Structure 1
Amino acid sequence: MNTQYGDVYNYNAGAQFLATPPVTPRRVAEDQLIALQRQFARPPGINAAFDVLRREHTVIVEGAPGTGRSAAAQVLLCELPRDHGTYHELTPEKPESGSGRWLALDLIGSQDRMLLDLSRADAETWHAVQAELSDFRHELISKRAFLAIVLPHAAMDPLSSHFAHLRKEIGRPDAVEALTRHLRLLGVDEWVRRDTPQALQTYLNTDPSMLELARLAERIASLRGPGDFASWCEQALSAQTDRADEVALLVPRLEEGRERALLLASALLHRARSEAVYRGTNELVKVAGSAHDERPLLEHRGLSDRLQAANARLGPDGRVHFPSPGFAEAARHYFWTDLPDVRDLLSKWIRTAVRLRELDPADRGALVERFTDLCVQTGEFGRLDELVRAWTSESARPSEVQAAAHLLKRGVENERSGGEFRAMIYGWSTSHITASLRAVLAEVCEKVMSVHHPEPALVRLHHLARLESPPGVARDALLRYVDGDRRLQRRLLARLATTQSSRHHRADADLFLSLPTLPSDFLLTPATREWLTLCWRSAFSLTASEQWAACAARWLSTADEATAPALIDATVTVLVDASDLRYPILTRIYAEARRAVSPRLAALLLDTITAAQRKHFDQRPPDLEVTSS
C-alpha cells in the first residue's frame, strides 16, 4: 500500500461530495436575492427602469460592464410585490429536438419574477431570444409575471425597435456608497463616507467594478483587529494590487527546481498544513524531473528556512502562508501565464496531489478551486474535462471523486465559465459514464446548477436518470429536485410525454411511474391532462403490468380521497383514455380498483369504461355489403 495516498475506493452510491445548505435551491436563490438587495447601492437610472418594469412587465437593462447591471436587474425584480409567484432565472438553450423554443412558455408561472441575464450570451442565443420575445411577453403579461433582461456585453444584432421602449440604461453607482453598504453587512462599523482614507479615495477614483469593490470590502473586513480603519484599508488595497512584479523578481533568485517547486506548491496549497506542502512539493519535483537534494538527510535545510527563501512562512498553527497579501495568487498566475509549459506539469501533478493524506477536505477543495480558476482564465477547459474523467474512473478514490465535485461546482458557479461547464455536463449526461461521474453530476445539478439555472439542471438530471441502469442516485436526485415544485414538475411531465427519441420511451415510462404525487389541478388543465394521458399510455405499453397496476391503484386511491367531482372524473377518464380500450389493461385496472378503492369509485370506473366502449363501437364505420358480380 502507498503510505502517501488513501486506499483504493469501492464507490458508495450514497456518498455526498459537497457541503451545501440543507435548503431548497429556490430558497438559496431567494436568500441571495435578499442579501443582494441589502448591499445594493442604487445607481442612476434605476427608478426609471423600475417604472418600465412595473408598467410593461418587462425591462431591458443596459450599461457599461462593471457597473452592476445584472445586480440591478435582480434588485428590480426583488422590489416588486412578492405575495405570489416565485423568483427564478431563465437560461435559454438550443432546443434538443432542433425545432422547439429557446424560451419555453410553460416556464412562466403566475406572477413569477424572472431574470434573463444575456450579458455573456453569444450571437446565436441573442438572435433566438429576440425572435421569441414577443410571444414570450404575451404569455408573460397574461400571467401577470415580470421579466428583467440584461443585454449582452458584445455588440451583436441591434435590439429590435419593437422593444426600444423597454430599454433603460443603468449608470455606475456611487463607489463610496457601494463600499459602505458591503462593509456594513460584513460587520465593519466605520463610516467610509464620513472619514475616507486618502489611499482608499484614490483607489475609488479609478472607477473599480462593483465586483472589485465587493472583494475589497471582504479584504478590509478580514483585516479587522490591531490598527485603525485606515491601516486596514492600506493592507486591503495592498492585497488588491497586482503583485506580479514582486513574483517576477523572486523567481530568478530561486535557481534550483526544487526551490521553485516549493514556491509553486506553497502558492497552490496556501494555508495548508506544512506536511501537505512538503509532500506536495516532493510530488511536484518528481513530476517535473527536477533533482532532489542528494545530501544526507540531516544536512538538508529545514522547511522554515526553505520557505523563507520563497517569501513564505510557517505559522504557529503549522500552516504555510505568504505574509504579503495577494502574493500567493500572483505566484500562481505568474507560473501559469509566464511559463505556459508548466500547465502540463501541474495537470499531471494535481491529478495525484488531491490524494495526499495530509490534505484535509477544505484544503483539497481550495486546491481544486485554484487550479480550476487558472484553467478558466486561459480557456483550458479540456484540461478540466480530463481531470474530471480521471477523478471519476472506476478505480477512483473518495478524495478524487470529491475533487471532481469541487471542480464542477467551481466551474458552474463562475459567471465566466458557467456556460462552458453546463455544456460539458450536458455532454456527459447524455453519454454512458461511470457510476462515480453520474453521482457527481447528479449532485452538482441538484445542489449547484439548480440555484441559478433550474431548467438546465432539470434537463441534465433527466438525461442522467433515464440512462441510469439500474435506477439509483440520479433518479433519486431528479425526484427530490422536482418534488414540491409545480413548475419543475410540469416541465418534467412535458419532457416525459413528448420525448422524441424512441430509445428513451421505456426509461421515461419508468420515470413517470416513479414520480411523487403531482398537483391535482394538472388533471383539470388541458395541456397537462393530455401529457398525463400520454404518459399512462406509454406505461401501459412499455412496463410490466405488475409495475403499472400498483401505480394505477395509488392513482385511483388519490381520487377516492378527492371531493371535487371534476377531479374524480378526470382521474378515471385519463386511465381509460390511455388504455385505448385494450381489454387486458381495463380488466386489470378494474380488478385493482375493486381491491384498492371504494365501491363508489369502482362503480364510476366501470361506468366510464362501459361508456367509452359504447362510444367506440357507435363510431365504427358500418361494414360494407359485398355482393357477387
Structure 2
Amino acid sequence: MSGTPPPGAPPPGVSSSGPTHTGPGDQHIHYYGGGDGDARRLADSARGKAPRAVAEDELRWLRRRFIHPAGYEAAYDTLAARHTVLVDGAPGSGRRATARMLLLDLPRTGGRFLELPPAKEAEEQWLDPDQVGDADQLLLDMSGADDLTWHDAEARLSAFRKAVADRGAHLTVVLPRHADRRLSPEYAALRVPISRPPGLQLEHDLIKRYLRLAGLDPAAADPLPAVLREHLDRRPPLRDVAELARLLCEAGQAARPGQTFRDWCEAALAAVSDCGVEVDTLVKRQRRAPQRALLLSAAMLHGVRADTVHQASDTLLAAIGHPENTTSPLERQGLGSRLARIEAAQTDDGRVRFDRLRFDAAVRDHFWDNHPDLYGPLRTWVQNVLTLAGLTDEDREHLVARFAEQCCRTRRAEDLFALVESWTAGRDRGPSIRAAAQLLGHGVEDPRIGAECRARIYRWSTDGRLSGGLRKVLIGVCFSVLALRHPYAAAVRLHHLAAREAPGTEARDTLVELVLCDARLHAWMLARLAAPAAQRSRATDRALFLALAEPRGLLGTATPLLAEPDVSRCLTEGWRAVFAEAPPEEWRGPVRAWFDAACGDAPAAFRHWLLDILVAAGAVNGAWARLYRTARAWAREVPGAHPERGALPAVLMEKISRSQRGRSPRNEGTSAP
C-alpha cells in the first residue's frame, strides 16, 4: 500500500505540468430505522444490528465458551509469525471455531473480520488481493472443498498471502480432509494439526464454562456422572458437545426442586439421542389426520398458546385438503385429551409443550424426512399461520426459524425461496415482509445452503421485475446479514438493485452507507464504478460515484484513500464520466465540496491533488470552462473566509492552461476558460 505522498507531488495516474501550489497554509456503521417499509428497518428484523456490531458480538460469544485444543499454541505462533496458518484436524475437532479464535486472540490494531467464500461466486473476484485491508482478520473455510476447488485455491493463495502480509493482516485457512497429502512445500510449513487431548478434560471444562455463563453452579459437574462420561467417551464432535452443554443448562434452568445434576444429564442426553424410533412409534399411533396435524402443529408452534395450536392444526388440515370434520364440537374430545395423546401438555400459562427436551425438533425432523408430499402444503400452512391473531411477534419469529432450519437441514433452499417470494408478492408491509427478511437471513447464514442463497439473491438483484416487497427484503438482508461476512457480495447485489431502482433510492443509499464504513470496500467500489458495464444504469453509477467521491471519505482515514494510485485513477475516470454525461447542476455541489477540501479541509499534502484530478478529468465536452466558472462563483460566495478561497480560481486556471498546452491537437478539448 502506498504511503503518504510528499507535498508538491502530482497524484498517481494524473498528469500535471508545472507548479501545483494552491496557496499558503497548511467508520463506522450506523443503523437506523425509517418509516414503515423502509429497507433498513427490515434489516432490523433480519439481524437487529449493523454488520460490524453483529460480528463483534459473535466473536465475544465464542471467546467466552472456547476451550483450546491440542496444537492451538503452535497454530497461534505460526499465524503471528507468518500471517497465515492452515488449520488441519479430524472432523469434529473444532477446526472452524479454532480458526476464528486464532484471529480473535491476535492483538487487535483495527481491521475487519471477514469470512472469505470457499469458491468463486457471481461477479466477485475470489481471493482478490485488492480486497485485503490493513490489519484484517480473514477466515477461509475450505473444509468442505473437493480436490479441484482446493487446487484452485492453492494457485490463488500465494498472491493473496503476500497482500495479507504486506497489509499487516492475518489469514486462517481450514483445510479439507486429507489435504496434508496434497500440500505443496510452500504450504506444508504453514499447516498445523489440532486435536482433542486424551481424556475428558476439554469436554469437562467446556461443560463447566457453559454452566457458569448460564448462571448455574459449575461445581455441580464435579465429578462428571458416569452416564455423562460414558457418552463423552464415544468422542462426539465438539459442536455436539457444545450443544449438549447448552441442553444441560436448559435442563438445569427448568429443573424442579430436588433434581440433581445427574437428572439434568439424563434429560439432556435423552434430547441428543436419536428420538426417531420414539417419534415414529408416536406418529403411527396417531392414525387419523387431525391427530397428526395437531402433533406437527404443536412441534412447529412449541410454546404457543393451546387455542392457537388448535387453530393452526385446523389450518394445516385445510392446507392439505382434508375434508372438514362434520362431528359436532361438543362430541369431540377435549383439547387436553388430544394433547395427551400426542404426549404434549399445557403449562400453567396455557402454552403447549412436550416434556422432553428437543422432542419438538425430533417431531419436525420426522415429518420433513418422511413426508416429502407435505413440502408444498407446509409452505402454504406457514404462510397462513403467520397471520393468526393469537401469535406474538416472538411466536412468529420462532415459527419462521423452525421452518428455515428444516429447509437448511434438508438442503431444500427452493422451499425457502418460494416462501420468500410468496410473502413479498402482495401489498402487506407487516409480518409477512419481516418474516421473509428473517427467513432469507437464516438461509444466508447457514453453511449448508448459504452459497445457494447468495446465488439466488444475485439472480433476484439482476431482475428488473421484482415486487416492491422483495426488493425491500433484499436490500435489508444484503445490508444487515450478507454484509456481515461477505461485504463484497452484498455490495455487488446492492449495486444491481440500485441500477434497477425506480422510483426511489433505497438500494443506492444503503449501498453508499455500507461502502463508506469500510475503506477497502470503498476503494473497491470506486474501481467497479470506473469499469462501466452495459447492464448497469449510467445515471445510477454517476450518482453513486458522486456520493462515494465525497472528500471526507477519501481523506478521513489514517492513510487516506487518495494516497493510493489506483484510487486516484478511478476518481479521475469517474469525474471524466460525470463531466461528459451529466448536466452541470448534477455535479456542481460535489465539485464545490472538493474546492472546500482543497482550501483547508484536506491535509496540506493532498489539497493540490484534488484540483489535479478535476483538471485531468475535465478535458471533455467543454468541462474546463464550466469548472472554472463554478470555481469563480464558489470563491465569491464567502469572501475573505480563507486566503486560499480567493486564489483558487487563478490556481485552477493555471492548471487548466498547462494541461491544455500539453495536449495533442488531435485530442478532444475546448478553449481555455
Give the TM-score normalised by the residue count of structure 1.
0.91
State the secondary structure of the residue aligned to 2:172: strand
Q: Residues 122 and 400 from structure 1, CA distance in 2 versus in 1: closer, same or farther, beyond 3 angstroms? A: farther
Please tell me whether residue 573 in structure 1 is matched to residue 612 in structure 2: yes
Please tell me whether residue 462 in structure 1 is matched to residue 495 in structure 2: yes
Q: Find the aligned partners of 1:21 and 1:377 in 2 and give their Cα distance.
A: 21
The superposition leaves residues 26-74 of structure 1 with CA deviations (integer Å, 9 ceiling, x where unpaired) of 2322332233223211111111112211221111111111111011111
1:257 Cα deviation (Å)?
0.9
Partner residue, 1:46: 72
**Is the Cα contact below 8 Å between 2:298 and 2:353 reproduced in 1?**
yes
Q: Which structure is higher in RCO with an 8 Å CA cutoff and minimum separation 6?
A: 2
State the secondary structure of the residue aligned to 2:44: coil
Q: 1:442 aligns with which of 462, 475, 498?
A: 475
1:101 Cα deviation (Å)?
3.7
**Counterpart amino acid of residue 240 in structure 2:** E
Q: Residues 394 and 345 from structure 1, CA distance in 2 versus in 1: closer, same or farther, beyond 3 angstroms? A: closer
**Counterpart amino acid of residue 146 in structure 1:** H
Partner residue, 2:461: 429
State the number of aligned residues: 612
State the secondary structure of the residue aligned to 1:16: helix
Q: 1:75 aligns with which of 95, 101, 111?
A: 101
Partner residue, 1:331: 363
1:581 Cα deviation (Å)?
5.2
Please tell me whether residue 244 in structure 1 is matched to residue 276 in structure 2: yes
Please tell me whether residue 56 in structure 1 is matched to residue 91 in structure 2: no
Partner residue, 1:363: 395
Q: 1:540 aligns with which of 562, 579, 590?
A: 579
Q: Residues 18 and 318 from structure 1, CA distance in 2 versus in 1: closer, same or farther, beyond 3 angstroms? A: farther
Q: Find the aligned partners of 1:397 and 1:24 in 2 and give their Cα distance.
A: 22
Q: Find the aligned partners of 2:176 and 2:170 in 1 and give their Cα distance.
A: 20
Q: Find the aligned partners of 1:126 and 1:178 in 2 and give their Cα distance.
A: 32
Q: Find the aligned partners of 2:53 and 2:40 in 1 and give their Cα distance.
A: 24
1:452 Cα deviation (Å)?
2.2
**Is the Cα contact below 8 Å between 1:177 and 1:193 reproduced in 2?**
no
1:14 Cα deviation (Å)?
6.9
Q: Find the aligned partners of 1:186 and 1:622 in 2 and give their Cα distance.
A: 76
Q: 2:627 aligns with which of 586, 589, 596?
A: 586
Please tell me whether residue 87 in structure 1 is matched to residue 122 in structure 2: no
1:166 Cα deviation (Å)?
0.7
Q: Find the aligned partners of 2:442 and 2:666 in 1 and give their Cα distance.
A: 68
Q: Residues 394 and 561 from structure 1, CA distance in 2 versus in 1: closer, same or farther, beyond 3 angstroms? A: farther
Please tell me whether residue 141 in structure 1 is matched to residue 165 in structure 2: yes
1:526 Cα deviation (Å)?
1.1
**Counterpart amino acid of residue 74 in structure 1:** R
**Counterpart amino acid of residue 294 in structure 2:** L
**Is the Cα contact below 8 Å between 2:542 and 2:574 reproduced in 1?**
yes
Q: Find the aligned partners of 1:620 and 1:14 in 2 and give their Cα distance.
A: 50
Q: Find the aligned partners of 1:239 and 1:249 in 2 and give their Cα distance.
A: 17
Please tell me whether residue 302 in structure 1 is matched to residue 346 in structure 2: no
Please tell me whether residue 340 in structure 1 is matched to residue 372 in structure 2: yes
Q: Find the aligned partners of 1:523 and 1:589 in 2 and give their Cα distance.
A: 23
**Counterpart amino acid of residue 460 in structure 2:** W
State the secondary structure of the residue aligned to 1:519: helix
Please tell me whether residue 507 in structure 1 is matched to residue 540 in structure 2: yes
Partner residue, 1:555: 594
What are the equivalent positions in structure 2 for 1:164-563 lying under 5 Å apart? 164-172=188-196, 174-191=202-219, 194-224=222-252, 225=255, 226=257, 227-396=259-428, 398-432=430-464, 433-501=466-534, 503-515=536-548, 517-520=552-555, 521-562=560-601
**Is the Cα contact below 8 Å between 1:220 and 1:236 reproduced in 2?**
yes
1:580 Cα deviation (Å)?
1.6
Q: Residues 568 and 79 from structure 1, CA distance in 2 versus in 1: closer, same or farther, beyond 3 angstroms? A: same
Q: Find the aligned partners of 1:96 and 1:337 in 2 and give their Cα distance.
A: 32
Q: Find the aligned partners of 2:105 and 2:564 in 1 and give their Cα distance.
A: 31
1:604 Cα deviation (Å)?
3.1
User: What do you get for the CA RMSD once the two structures are aligned?
Assistant: 2.6
Q: 1:608 aligns with which of 648, 652, 655?
A: 652
**Counterpart amino acid of residue 191 in structure 1:** A
**Is the Cα contact below 8 Å between 1:188 and 1:221 reproduced in 2?**
yes
**Is the Cα contact below 8 Å between 1:175 and 1:207 reproduced in 2?**
no
Partner residue, 1:3: none
**Counterpart amino acid of residue 515 in structure 2:** V
**Identity of aligned pairs, percent?**
37
**Counterpart amino acid of residue 151 in structure 2:** H
1:424 Cα deviation (Å)?
1.5
1:121 Cα deviation (Å)?
3.9
Q: Find the aligned partners of 2:532 and 2:122 in 1 and give their Cα distance.
A: 10
Q: Find the aligned partners of 2:208 and 2:239 in 1 and give their Cα distance.
A: 14
**Counterpart amino acid of residue 172 in structure 1:** R
Moved more, 182-191 or 165-174: 182-191
State the secondary structure of the residue aligned to 1:111: coil
The superposition leaves residues 253-311 of structure 1 with CA deviations (integer Å, 9 ceiling, x where unpaired) of 21211111111111111111223212211111112222333122322222112111111
1:359 Cα deviation (Å)?
1.8
Q: Residues 573 and 92 from structure 1, CA distance in 2 versus in 1: closer, same or farther, beyond 3 angstroms? A: farther
**Counterpart amino acid of residue 211 in structure 2:** L
State the secondary structure of the residue aligned to 2:536: helix
**Counterpart amino acid of residue 120 in structure 2:** K
The superposition leaves residues 108-142 of structure 1 with CA deviations (integer Å, 9 ceiling, x where unpaired) of 22232221222234556433322111111122222
**Is the Cα contact below 8 Å between 1:553 and 1:596 reproduced in 2?**
no
**Counterpart amino acid of residue 457 in structure 1:** A
Structure 1 unaligned residues grouped into runs of 5+: 1-9, 624-629
Please tell me whether residue 102 in structure 1 is matched to residue 146 in structure 2: no
Q: Find the aligned partners of 2:471 and 2:77 in 1 and give their Cα distance.
A: 46
State the secondary structure of the residue aligned to 1:341: helix
State the secondary structure of the residue aligned to 1:29: helix
The superposition leaves residues 142-179 of structure 1 with CA deviations (integer Å, 9 ceiling, x where unpaired) of 22221111113586993333211111111125322232
**Counterpart amino acid of residue 576 in structure 1:** V
**Counterpart amino acid of residue 152 in structure 2:** A
Q: Residues 72 and 508 from structure 1, CA distance in 2 versus in 1: closer, same or farther, beyond 3 angstroms? A: same
Segments of 4+ in structure 1 off by > 6 A?
154-157
**Counterpart amino acid of residue 461 in structure 1:** L
Partner residue, 2:152: 128
Q: Find the aligned partners of 1:519 and 1:61 in 2 and give their Cα distance.
A: 37
Moved more, 185-194 or 42-51: 185-194
Q: Residues 504 and 295 from structure 1, CA distance in 2 versus in 1: closer, same or farther, beyond 3 angstroms? A: same
**Is the Cα contact below 8 Å between 2:40 and 2:479 reproduced in 1?**
no
Q: Find the aligned partners of 2:147 and 2:468 in 1 and give their Cα distance.
A: 36
Q: Residues 273 and 539 from structure 1, CA distance in 2 versus in 1: closer, same or farther, beyond 3 angstroms? A: farther
Q: Find the aligned partners of 1:108 and 1:200 in 2 and give their Cα distance.
A: 45
The superposition leaves residues 459-513 of structure 1 with CA deviations (integer Å, 9 ceiling, x where unpaired) of 2222222322223322232222233322222222222222433633321111122
Q: Residues 376 and 14 from structure 1, CA distance in 2 versus in 1: closer, same or farther, beyond 3 angstroms? A: closer
Q: Residues 498 and 621 from structure 1, CA distance in 2 versus in 1: closer, same or farther, beyond 3 angstroms? A: closer
Please tell me whether residue 114 in structure 1 is matched to residue 146 in structure 2: no
State the secondary structure of the residue aligned to 2:537: helix
Moved more, 34-43 or 404-413: 34-43
Q: Residues 126 and 469 from structure 1, CA distance in 2 versus in 1: closer, same or farther, beyond 3 angstroms? A: farther
State the secondary structure of the residue aligned to 2:108: coil
State the secondary structure of the residue aligned to 2:86: strand
Moved more, 345-354 or 440-449: 345-354
**Counterpart amino acid of residue 553 in structure 2:** L
Q: Find the aligned partners of 2:615 and 2:659 in 1 and give their Cα distance.
A: 13
